[in-house]
Amino acid sequence: MSVADVVAQIKEGKSLAGGEFTNLNFSNQDLSGADFSGANLHGSKFNGAKLHNVNFSGADLGHCNFGGSDMSGSDIRDANMDGCEMINVKQTGLRIDRERLISRVRSGWTLDGVDISGMDLAGENLRYAKITYANMQGCNLEGADLRGAVLYETNLACSNLMNADLRGASLKRANLTKANRTGTKVGRRALKRAFITGDIAYLDN
């Protein structure tokens, strides 16, 4: 199937789940809303493509190039991304799985805008994690090591931070509304920079 055929089927609202689309060049194409779940896209190029709300879950994205693309709201959970290039990718609301999150954190990646709401990360070593502008609402972070983490403007509302270690973490404009902070180790200055109640309760001083 050619790139033109794929684009036409997406515009018609047809599912491409489980299809074979290897080594195609989708650069600068608008593939928003496509269902590529379980598809084989190995080696394909998506440079500069518009990929809003695309379902890549379980797909083979090995050695794909997403450089400069906009993957806002897309789902890459359980996808194979071995050798994948994701330089300058916009990932607001990008849905990723737990294993990939931990792998990226430990590799020093900045996870900007990802959606990991409700994820169970209890007891995980997330030290020095850079998870910014992200949705972590309702996450279970009980006993997690978040020392030195950068959680700038991340939504942690209703999360479980019981006994989590946030010493040295940056919480500027992080939303901690209704988060369980029982036993949490966190500096007073860091808390003063967080959003805890109300609509405009940022304390930056």
Give residue-wise pLDDT tens across range 24-82: 999 999 999 999 999 999 999 999 999 999 999 999 999 999 999 999 999 999 999 99
**Measured distance CA(34)–CA(60) in Å, rounded:** 15
Topology agreement, domain 1-90 and domain 96-205: yes
Beta strands of 48-203 (E only): which ranges?
Answer: 110-112, 130-132
Contact by Cβ (8 Å): 72, 90: yes
pLDDT tens-digit readout, 87-113 = 899 989 999 999 989 998 998 988 999
Distances in Å between the alpha carbon of 49 and those of 93, 108, 122, 131?
17, 25, 36, 24
Q: Name the DSSP letter for residue 133.
A: S
**Measured distance CA(129)–CA(148) in Å, rounded:** 7
Tokens at residue 131, please?
């998870």
Name the CATH topology of 1-90.
Pectate Lyase C-like (2.160.20)
pLDDT tens-digit readout, 175-195 = 999 999 999 999 888 888 887
pTM exceeding 0.75: yes
Find out if CATH 2.160.20.80 is the number for domain 96-205.
yes
Average pLDDT over residues 124-142: 96
All structural domains of the chain with their residue ranges: 1-90, 96-205
